[in-house]
Structure 1
Amino acid sequence: MLRYLIIIASLCLLSACADRTITEITPEALKVGTPATVFAATTRAREGDGSYGSKRAEALRYLELTVSIPPTHTPGTLEFSYANPNPKKQFVLADVTEFSGRQDLKSRLHGVDDVVIFVHGYNATQTETAFRAAQLSHDIGIPGTILIYSWPSQARGIGYAYDLDSMLFARDGLEQTIRFLRSSGVKRVILIAHSMGGALSMEMMRQAELREPGWSNRNIEGVILISPDLDVDLFRSQMNSIKEPPDPFVVMVSKKDKILNVSARLRGTADSERLGNISSVDSLAKYPINVIDTTAFNSDAGSSHFVAATSPALLSILSSVRRVSSTFGPDRPGIDVLVPPSERSTDGATEIVLTETGQAQVSTP
């Protein structure tokens, strides 16, 4: 019992024990900061005060959010406040437009070829997700339009079980979002998912494949799972249902991910690894994926569970790689340039261990 009390206490500390339901909209922030547009598709229910919290909605809603990025922002940091934000130093929500339906969003996306969908993980609010997507896009220089898929996380340290159910609840909405984008004329959809969002993305692709074999490869240009909170055996089962996964298919891991260690304990599997902190790719050898080990950047990162977004050194490398591939077009996402297809395994998994100097050491099981 003591062990579980310690875990719950740790999760509470991770969520800062603050009132995260408060979101101030400050249009004046744009006089100071740099605007970033983040679209949203959400299965969160709309509350009476207009906010989107943890309750589950029966239908998708679509929004356009304008985020102000502070002039003092440095790569890898995400400073914000739930009340009285300072636009000179913090990310600020400057505007929110709620669309009456899909047609309004379709009109806003007219002429857009590339959309990057960011799927958040456990213990996240909608505004925090918009801030993180804007920060990641700004720091790496991700081209294309950014859209967050905001599923109904309880956004509480002790809400892990609720979030697990919400993640499964949200599978249909994510699939509907991708189908809508493709039917609206978007040519390329990139899926970037963090933590439990990786489990959501895999479950979504699996269910779509069972109905329409080959759906994922036809509709998703590339998949990047960052620190996926996902059982390895479950991932293998999901991949077995996806005969032709999107290419590239990238899994970013860190052996020092502390949050995934807590996740394993909560599930009673403390002796096993999660997909996001695997020490070996041997069990994944037959799948055509790239596993990128970012452990070397753990000490530089603000979060061991989100090294890709909080390590200034790694962000600098990813930004440089992105500039090599200037668009998310036919040349593939920039992150794929880390290891050109000619250096990857043609039969299965490729392991890429990134060093602090930015070198990529490539091996296959």
Structure 2
Amino acid sequence: MRLLAPVLAAMVIGMIFFVGWANRARLRPIWLAGCLAATLLALYGAQRGVIRFQQGLRLSTNADTAFTGLRSEASTDFPLHLGRALVSIPPNNQPGRVETPKIGKLEFVESPDRHIMLHKIQSEDQPDRWYSRMRQEAQQADRSEVFVFVHGYNVDFAEALKRTAQLSHDLGVQGPTVCYSWPSRGQVLAYAADEATVSWSAPHFERLLSDIHQRTQVHRVNVIAHSMGSRAALEALERIYLKSNQLQANGGAGKTIHQRPIHQLILAAPDVDAVQFETRYLNPLRKLSQNATIYFSRSDRALQLSAGIHAATRLGLAANFLELLDGIEVIHIGSHDLFGLGHSYYGTDPVVIDDLSQLLSQDVSASDRPLL
């Protein structure tokens, strides 16, 4: 009993601090789109207020939908699962950090005062209502804009939401934030499966881009696509480009090609064949985005491995050949991650985040951004 009393006292004190800090945690709503994964029936642990999903996704409050790394069997009439998520950012979160519990710090469960937490997912089965709310939020913001993030390989649904929230917070996004979550398996050894799936998801991202552009009528749609997610973005633009050309060839107005759906397109460490980018994607990108920026690093170990697998140079390793092209800015990130893969600098390096913030908020050209 003597041993038990201090333990109980520590638990009570811990709960008091937890409640106090929880009230100060900042909550950031995230719009969900293209959560192209099979939904699961959840097992409820009602006494604990926790929903436990397959593959370990746990939420601290109710959610009506969960997503895996499998492809969706959603209706072909509207293939996207839409919804909203609530993600909390701890009050002292450092830029570029998605804090999770660490055993070395004796942290065994998530706490909103120390970790970025996913609290709630709410699906939306009425697309008109989803886009209407997005339009209203964009109109109420200081800048009429929508920020869209497309994650890369080996990212599960919860991780995608947390990274999107962290980016939105660190970049100071004013308008609605959209997480486009294609069904990555979220497994290191599932590279081939993710590679096939990201191309499969491109038509859905095309639909999302077109709908945001047409239904919300916001002035700026800014897109950051990371790694393999860059393929979904580029293939979506290619599809819009080819459809517009076909429309013009058939005597149509070809309006889509003249109304660029993307204001700022940022490809961060793109896992894309460099030669294929130049021959296949370059024209659609220049036609359909007002501004395009590519961040690359010759020290990116993940892309070095990808280059070996494909026997082809990746754009995120050697984009410098594009430096002289009008409408495209190329930023080289030097060696900075001595012990990691050097592949996630877009969201983890505070200097890169500051550079992205200037680009997105002020449209400052690379030559006038002294940070990199």
| Offset of residue 121 of structure 1 | 0.4
- Note if contact 1:208-1:216 (Cα within 8 Å) is conserved in structure 2: no
Report the Cα distance in structure 2 between the residues aligned to 1:209 and 1:28, rounded to whole angstroms: 52
Are 2:237 and 1:237 aligned? no
Report the Cα distance in structure 2 between the residues aligned to 1:88 and 1:115, rounded to whole angstroms: 28
Aligned to 1:185: 216
SS where residue 188 of structure 2 aligns?
coil
Aligned to 1:265: 308
| Offset of residue 238 of structure 1 | 2.4
- Note if contact 2:300-2:342 (Cα within 8 Å) is conserved in structure 1: yes
Structure 1 residues 115, 216: CA separation in 2 closer, same or farther (over 3 Å shift)?
A: farther
Aligned to 1:66: 86
| Offset of residue 30 of structure 1 | 5.2
Report the Cα distance in structure 2 between the residues aligned to 1:167 and 1:206, rounded to whole angstroms: 14
More divergent stretch after superposition (165-174 vs 48-57): 48-57
Are 2:1 and 1:37 aligned? no
Structure 1 residues 107, 318: CA separation in 2 closer, same or farther (over 3 Å shift)?
A: closer
- One-letter amino acid of the structure 2 residue matched with residue 275 of structure 1: L
- Note if contact 1:189-1:219 (Cα within 8 Å) is conserved in structure 2: yes
- One-letter amino acid of the structure 1 residue matched with residue 316 of structure 2: G
- One-letter amino acid of the structure 1 residue matched with residue 40 of structure 2: E
- Note if contact 2:257-2:288 (Cα within 8 Å) is conserved in structure 1: no
Are 2:329 and 1:290 aligned? yes
Tell me the TM-score normalised to structure 1 length.
Answer: 0.76
- Note if contact 1:257-1:277 (Cα within 8 Å) is conserved in structure 2: yes
Aligned to 1:175: 206
Deviations 1:145-164 (A, max 9, x none): 11011101011001111101
Aligned residues: 304
Aligned to 1:343: none
Aligned to 1:56: 71
Aligned to 2:152: 121
- Note if contact 1:27-1:94 (Cα within 8 Å) is conserved in structure 2: no
Aligned to 1:156: 187
- Note if contact 1:203-1:238 (Cα within 8 Å) is conserved in structure 2: no
Q: Sequence identity of aligned pairs in percent?
A: 25
Aligned to 1:96: 121
Aligned to 1:105: 130
Report the Cα distance in structure 1 between the residues aligned to 2:258 and 2:111, rounded to whole angstroms: 42
1:297-308 equivalent positions in 2, closer than 5 A: 298-299=336-337, 304-308=342-346
Report the Cα distance in structure 2 between the residues aligned to 1:253 and 1:234, rounded to whole angstroms: 16
- Structure 1: 5+ residue stretches without partners: 1-25, 323-327, 341-353, 361-365
- One-letter amino acid of the structure 1 residue matched with residue 351 of structure 2: A
Aligned to 1:325: none
- Note if contact 1:248-1:336 (Cα within 8 Å) is conserved in structure 2: no
After superposing on structure 2, the runs of 4+ consecutive aligned residues of structure 1 that deviate more than 6 Å are 26-29
Report the Cα distance in structure 2 between the residues aligned to 1:34 and 1:239, rounded to whole angstroms: 39
SS where residue 202 of structure 1 aligns?
helix
Structure 1 residues 359, 176: CA separation in 2 closer, same or farther (over 3 Å shift)?
A: closer
Deviations 1:307-357 (A, max 9, x none): 1211123334544x35xxxxx6xxxx53543336xxxxxxxxxxxxx8xxx
- Note if contact 1:39-1:148 (Cα within 8 Å) is conserved in structure 2: yes
Aligned to 1:247: 290
- Structure 2: 5+ residue stretches without partners: 1-17, 43-64, 103-107, 139-143, 246-255
Aligned to 1:311: 349
Aligned to 1:46: 39
SS where residue 138 of structure 1 aligns?
helix
| Offset of residue 285 of structure 1 | 4.2
SS where residue 212 of structure 1 aligns?
helix
Backbone CA RMSD of aligned residues: 2.8
Structure 1 residues 209, 318: CA separation in 2 closer, same or farther (over 3 Å shift)?
A: closer
Deviations 1:209-253 (A, max 9, x none): 111146386211120000000010111122354262412100011
| Offset of residue 257 of structure 1 | 0.5
Aligned to 1:15: none
- Note if contact 1:68-1:92 (Cα within 8 Å) is conserved in structure 2: yes
- One-letter amino acid of the structure 1 residue matched with residue 92 of structure 2: T
> Residue 161 of structure 2 is aligned with which of 94, 105, 130?
130
Structure 1 residues 301, 199: CA separation in 2 closer, same or farther (over 3 Å shift)?
A: farther
- One-letter amino acid of the structure 2 residue matched with residue 126 of structure 1: F
Report the Cα distance in structure 1 between the residues aligned to 2:40 and 2:21, rounded to whole angstroms: 25
> Residue 365 of structure 2 is aligned with which of 337, 341, 363?
337
Tell me the TM-score normalised to structure 2 length.
Answer: 0.74
- One-letter amino acid of the structure 2 residue matched with residue 276 of structure 1: G
Deviations 1:235-290 (A, max 9, x none): 112235426241210001111101101111222x1xx4310111x62366446310
Q: Which has the larger radius of gyration?
A: 2
SS where residue 128 of structure 1 aligns?
helix
- Note if contact 2:322-2:330 (Cα within 8 Å) is conserved in structure 1: no
- One-letter amino acid of the structure 1 residue matched with residue 95 of structure 2: P
Report the Cα distance in structure 2 between the residues aligned to 1:45 and 1:253, rounded to whole angstroms: 33
- Note if contact 1:40-1:63 (Cα within 8 Å) is conserved in structure 2: yes
| Offset of residue 47 of structure 1 | 1.8
- Note if contact 1:196-1:229 (Cα within 8 Å) is conserved in structure 2: yes
